[in-house]
Amino acid sequence: MDLDALADEEPPVVEETDGIAAEVEALRAENAQMKDRLIRTLADAENSRKRADRERREAENYGGSKMARDMLPVYDNLQRAVAAIPEESREANASLVEGVELTLRELQNVFKKHGVEIVEPQIGETFDPKIHEAMFEAPVPDSEKGQIIQVMTVGFMIHDRLLRAAQVGVSSTPKT
């Protein structure tokens, strides 16, 4: 056989197409890997956006919780002041009484503006541990176990979260 003839021969076509096929397959795998990374990156970005939006809403709704909680004793004291004024003194001190009542109403308006709602349980309602705090239990005739028999302080919610539980007394009268 002639060596020059062998050198001039083209390599078999089968080997070349095998190399191209392998290269195409490698590029397809790389493409699939890049697509997967892109989809995951987009999902991460969307999750980050949703988390940031949720955190922004929570900060907007509940950011003032600490200050609101600090203002609750002011509300309690203004309520006590209004309740402690005897009827016979109201006329003699009308401007003072009116000032305290206006201050209390303004505080209630500020609370309402910032999503703080008063939880004011009524006697006879059923005790709810999610919004009430039982301060004592006592047997009371004509009541059922778990009914509120006394309200010591009102509670407060800020939007859908409890700021302070209403403090109540609860009946322990067993069912008959």
Q: What's the pLDDT tens digit per position in 78-133?
A: 999 999 989 888 888 889 999 999 999 999 999 999 999 999 999 999 999 999 99
What average pLDDT score do residues 134-163 get?
A: 92
Tell me the pLDDT tens digit for each residue of 41-79. 999 999 999 999 999 998 888 888 899 999 999 999 999
**CA dist 47 → 18, 42, 52, 62, 150 (Å):** 43, 9, 9, 22, 48
Mean pLDDT value across residues 13-24: 75
pLDDT score, position 65: 87
pLDDT at 144 exceeding the cut of 70:
yes
7 residue type, one letter: A
- What are the residues whose beta carbons fall under 8 Å from the beta carbon of 145, sequence distance 6 or more? 171, 172, 173, 174, 175
- Please count the residues of the chain: 176
Residue 92 has a pLDDT of 87
